[in-house]
Chain A
Amino acid sequence: DAKTTQPPSMDCAEGRAANLPCNHSTISGNEYVYWYRQIHSQGPQYIIHGLKNNETNEMASLIITEDRKSSTLILPHATLRDTAVYYCIVKAYNTDKLIFGTGTRLQVFP
């Protein structure tokens, strides 16, 4: 599986957009980009995933660059409850497992 690189921590003011970057320069054509988050010590929570097109759902937007070597997760209006560790994971279609890195610890402040 391709490795991902994320900043260890970020801050965001409540109500503002949080833009979390991820580099995955060795991604291959059949690998998807997934985003999960972990609030405190709860189980990881799925946010969004994509292959090459930008995606949006009720939680977030995912912007993938044209060369697919990086992506950005956007939380459009961050709230205090979005404080969590955010994981960017690259997963091949033919494997079951998710390989978690250390993620980005997002702190949303009032």
Chain B
Amino acid sequence: EPEVTQTPSHQVTQMGQEVILRCVPISNHLYFYWYRQILGQKVEFLVSFYNNEISEKSEIFDDQFSVERPDGSNFTLKIRSTKLEDSAMYFCASSGIEDSPLHFGNGTRLTVT
């Protein structure tokens, strides 16, 4: 069964550094998402992306965050200047058509020191 893949599985970075989290969605999917989960807390929506633009974003997704689909296969989340509180699991997801179920990757654990 096709799956969403995320790299790296674990990223350690220093506060203030830029970090890029990478995702390869399922190949014929058109809708892309990022969620995050701080340790012990709920899964939180960050942003959705369709047709090369952001379609919805949460309050968490401030100017420090950006998303991009640089080519036909990758979908990236960039955090410009990481803070300690950005430490979390970041999950990428994709779906094929509007309102269809989301398929999630297994996440990137980001640790900001």
The interface centre, meaning the residue of B43, B56, B105 with most chain A CB atoms within 10 A of its CB, is B43
Interface majority SS on B: helix, strand, loop or mixed? strand
Which residue in chain B gives the minimum CB-CB distance to A44? B104
Within the complex, the shortest CB–CB distance from B15 to chain A, in Å, comes to 23
Cβ contacts under 8 Å, B106 to chain A: 42-43
Cβ contacts under 8 Å, A44 to chain B: 35, 43, 91, 102, 104
The interface centre, meaning the residue of B4, B44, B93, B101 with most chain A CB atoms within 10 A of its CB, is B101
Interface majority SS on A: helix, strand, loop or mixed? loop
Which residues of A in the span 35-77 have a Cβ within 8 Å of any Cβ on B? 38, 41-46, 49
Counting residue pairs across A and B whose Cβ atoms lie within 8 Å, the total is 49
- For the complex, give the distance between the alpha carbons of A49 and B100 in Å: 10
- 16 residue pairs of the A-B complex, CB under 8 angstroms, read A32-B99, A43-B106, A44-B35, A44-B43, A44-B91, A46-B101, A46-B103, A49-B101, A96-B33, A96-B56, A97-B33, A97-B45, A98-B35, A98-B102, A100-B43, A102-B42
Q: Which residues of B contact A (CB under 8 A)?
A: 4, 31, 33, 35, 37, 42-45, 48, 50, 55-56, 58, 89, 91, 93, 99, 101-107
